[in-house]
Structure 1
């Protein structure tokens, strides 16, 4: 592993109507040790109280993905898009050369909880665009966002993808990076993670000292560099997002 980010060490914002945990430097929270990984710039875990939200504000040259965990998010933007994004849906807005938008809790009674994710685009000044979809889980690891938006995924203007990892208690899954950078953010659950920099090697042939063993739970995250392999062992049902990113 090249980076570990524990949930209780994240930046903390509490505005009453908004409770937010910042994995990376964002807004008034700044930490030079946590500026993002590869093209991944922001992961904010936001809880917005009923009827509250972010008023109209602007963005440019950023791929903004919202992953709704609980409740529903109401989105409006200057391109004419007006949608409600329920839990289970994923939304992507390419700000491009400039767009304004607002995001509000769609409910007057229940909070909405979502991950706000920013990924740097591979080109600037493009036409703003918007996509939203509910992607059914197919096996343990299901692509949600891919560069070309193939097979029902959302597209993104970057050589990056986001997949959802779902494991039942006792299940395990192996992730590898080849010549890429990987980042896993635990949405919920507890897992033990074994990692080695000898991708493709038989685990029985590697000494115990070669492995890093860590336990991760809600809000925790880690990054792995090129040619690493990690084994995820679920100690409880796991929901996580796996980011396949360009080399850091």
Structure 2
């Protein structure tokens, strides 16, 4: 088993006033040659957008773009004709494929929205653009893994990649085993809130740990914790 630990305070940071963003991997003006990607996981941004502000219409192509709101509500519009609002316990994906334009704005004028913006390199290029979103029940991830992104699983948003995202809400003192979904995949663990221990590594809120060359591992909750696992191919 190989691991790499990224503590929360080592992330890139950009505060534009309306947008306060932390970058686990190189993004925009933050560049760290040792933190460009983890396998096909290219971007993991932890974004806080102030009320009434957001990202104007801009293009993407050949990228799988996942948004997971943690607080507040985010309004999405795109060139495929979709207009949706996503909030906590929603998971959204856009397979940009041959190309798509979209915008994302904080639906509220008064309160901030906090969401994870995640980019994954696609398995197949130049597919027809595709949009999907789901609402998941948080009770179904209490002391278990809840798969929310997958190429082949009912109840998860579809992704154009051999990637599986799972959420877990583990109560203090409990532990969960995780079996890596596909040979050659690794897992990037991101702590949303709380503390865990993984194979001797202690992780706190917004810390990240990459694991590869392994078949499984154990996650133990030091205190009540919410965690996101991103199980992705390690070969780009």
Shorter-chain TM-score range = over 0.9
2:206 is aligned with 1:219: yes
Asked if the contact 1:176–1:227 (Cα under 8 Å) also holds between the matched residues in 2, the reply is no
Aligned equivalent of 1:237 = 224
Separation in 2 of the partners of 1:219 and 1:104? 23
- Structure 2: give runs of 5+ residues left out of the alignment: none
2:20 is aligned with 1:19: yes
* More displaced 10-residue stretch of structure 1: 78-87 or 172-181: 172-181
With normalisation by structure 1, the TM-score equals: 0.89
Q: Once superposed, which parts of structure 1, at least 4 consecutive aligned residues long, lie more than 4 Å away? A: none
- Which among 174, 177, 181 is matched to residue 177 of structure 2? 174
Q: CA RMSD in A?
A: 1.3
Separation in 1 of the partners of 2:60 and 2:154? 28
Asked if the contact 2:38–2:234 (Cα under 8 Å) also holds between the matched residues in 1, the reply is no
Aligned equivalent of 1:185 = 190
Give the number of the structure whose residues are more often strand, by fraction: 2
The structure whose Rg is larger is 1
- SS of the residue aligned with 1:238? strand
2:163 is aligned with 1:160: yes
Aligned equivalent of 2:103 = 102
2:145 is aligned with 1:141: yes
Q: CA deviation at 1:109?
A: 1.0
- Structure 1: give runs of 5+ residues left out of the alignment: 195-212
- SS of the residue aligned with 1:237? strand
TM alignment of 1:81-96, pairs within 5 A: 81-96=82-97
- SS of the residue aligned with 2:69? strand
- SS of the residue aligned with 2:223? coil
Aligned equivalent of 1:57 = 58
Separation in 2 of the partners of 1:176 and 1:36? 22
With normalisation by structure 2, the TM-score equals: 0.93
- SS of the residue aligned with 2:155? coil
- SS of the residue aligned with 2:214? coil
* More displaced 10-residue stretch of structure 1: 161-170 or 63-72: 161-170
Tell me the matched-pair count. Answer: 229
